[in-house]
Amino acid sequence: MLIRFSFIVSILLSALSAFAEDDVPAAVFEGDAGIAPGAAEEVAMEQVAKGPPRRPWGFSLGVKTHGVLDSSLDDGGRMGFSRHALSMGVSRRFPEGRFAALSFDQEWARYDFSGEENKELSDGFQDVNTTQFALSFRSPINDLWSVFGSANITFSVARGVALTDGKHYGGMASFRRKVNDRFAWSVAVVAVQRLEEDVLVMAFPGVDWSITERLKLTTKQGYVLSYDFGEKGHWIADTSLLIERREFKPDPDGTLADDVVKDWRFPLEAGLSYRPHPGMLLRGYVGVLAYQRFTIVRDDGTTISPKTDPAPFAGLQADLRF
C-alpha cells in the first residue's frame, strides 16, 4: 500500500509541477491535526509575506504516509499504527507584511491491536478519521515584534460515528521577538477544547536560530534541528523531537461507545528532504516513538491508560506550493 500511495504522489506532483511558484517556501501549512506548538507557522508566514508581491494569492497541496511497526503494550498484546494525510490551503498576502491563510487537513488512521488483553481496544476503535479546518494570520506589530494566530475546528471520530460527535475547537496565539537577523524567540499559548472535558491551555517557548549559514534550530510541532547541504537548499537533513496529540470518539457499536480516546505521542525523528524546485518538497523520514499513552475517559469519569513500548516508524511526505 505504501508503494501504491507513493506512486500516486509522484503522478500528482508531475502533473502540477508546472504551476509551482518559486518564492513560496514549503511548510506554510505543515502542522499537526492536534497541537502544533511553537513559531514555525509564524516564521514561514513571515517568509511568504516578504516574498515578491506579484502574486498575492498562494495555494498549497501536501500528502503524507506514515507507519509504526508493532509495539508492545504494558498490559500485554501488541499494537500497530498507520496513517495517511492530505492537506490543502490557500493564502493571501496583504500590505506591510500581513498574511492570512485558510487550510484543510484530512487524516485517515488505523490502529491494529492484537492479543486477548486488547480486545476491548480492538472492538472500540480501528479506523479513525480526522478532518480539520483552520484559519491563520500573521501581522507585524513593529520592527521587532510580530503576532501569529490561528483558530481551528476539528472533527475526529472512529468509523461509524457522526462527525458532530467528535467536534472540538482549538486556537493559538504566538508573539515573536526578533533579536537580530539570526535569532528570534517566541511564546505561544495554545487552547484546546477537549471532548467532554474542560479547555486545556498550554504555553510553549519557540526559537528561530540560524546557528550558521546552514545549521538552524526552529520550532515546528516540537523542536527541529536542520542542516542545509547546499546554498540552493536542494538537500536538507533534520532531526526533531515532536509532540502529537489525537482525541476522538470510538465506535458507537463497540465496547467504548460512550467513552473518549486520547492519544499522546512524542516521536524522535530524522529526515532527509529534497527540493527539486523551491515550490516543491519531497521528504523521507525514520524514527522511534519514544513515548505513547492512550487515555480512555469513561462516561462515568474514570480513566484507563495503557502505554506502548518504544517502536520504530517511517514515512514519506510531499508538498507543493504554487
Residue in 88, 61, 65, 60 with CA at minimum distance from that of residue 7: 65
Cβ-contact 214, 228 below 8 angstroms: yes
Contact 207, 198 (CB under 8 A): no
> pLDDT at position 172, please?
92
pLDDT at 258: 78
Task: Tell me what pLDDT residue 201 has.
Answer: 92
Comparing 7 with 158, the larger pLDDT belongs to 158
Task: Say if CB 205 and CB 222 are below 8 A apart.
Answer: no
Which 3-state string (H, E, C) describes 93-145?
ECHHHCEEEEEEEEEEEEEEEECHHHHHHHHHCCEEEEEEEEEEEEEECCCCE
Q: What is the pLDDT of residue 231?
A: 65
b/e sequence 245-254, b meaning 16+ C-beta within 10 Å: bbbbbbbeeb
Out of 67-71, 76-80, 177-181, 241-245, the most confident range is 177-181
How far apart (Å, rounded) are the C-alpha atoms in residues 96 and 56? 12
Mean pLDDT of 276-300: 87
The answer to whether 28 and 101 are in contact (CB under 8 A) is yes
CB 188 within 8 A of CB 39: yes
Q: What is the pTM of this model?
A: 0.80
Better pLDDT: 251 or 268: 268
- Split at pLDDT 50, 70, 90, the class of 13 is very low
**321 vs 279: CA distance, rounded Å:** 5
Inter-residue contact 219 to 186 (CB < 8 Å): yes
**Percent of the chain having pLDDT more than 90?**
43
CA angle 173, 317, 282 (to 5 degrees): 110
Question: What's the rounded Cα separation, in Å, for the pair 157 and 260?
Answer: 10
pLDDT band at 38 (very low <50, low <70, confident <90, very high): very low
Mean pLDDT for 203-227 is 92
What type of residue is 113? F
Binning pLDDT at 50, 70 and 90, where does residue 305 land? confident
User: What is the DSSP code (8-state) at residue 38?
Assistant: S
> Looking at domain 2-321, which CATH architecture does it have?
Beta Barrel (2.40)
269 pLDDT band, cuts 50/70/90, is: very high
Q: What is the mean pLDDT of residues 190-206?
A: 86
The more confidently predicted of residues 147 and 158 is: 147
pLDDT at residue 146, rounded to an integer: 94
Percentage of the chain beyond pLDDT 70 is 82
Q: List the Cα angle 94/49/52 in 5-degree steps.
A: 90
Backbone angles phi, psi at 109, to 5 degrees: -120, 150
Compute the distance between CA of residue 91 and CA of residue 102 in angstroms, rounded to an integer: 6
Q: Report how far Cα 248 is from the mean position of its chain's Cα atoms.
A: 16
Residue whose entry in the numeric block shows the C-alpha cell 467532554: 196
Average pLDDT over residues 234-261: 86
Looking at the chain, how many residues does it have?
Answer: 322
Burial tier of 70 (Cβ tally within 10 Å: 0-12, 13-18, 19+): middle
Q: Quote helix, strand, coil % in the chain, to nearest 5.
A: 15, 60, 30
- Low-confidence winner among 29-43, 123-137, 144-158, 226-240 (lowest mean pLDDT): 29-43
Assigned C-alpha cell, 247: 482525541
Please state the rounded mean pLDDT for residues 136-142: 94
Between 34 and 96, whose confidence is greater? 96
pLDDT at 52 over 70: no
| pLDDT score of 160 | 83
Per residue in 157-175, pLDDT tens? 888 888 888 898 999 999 9
The per-residue pLDDT for 54 is 55
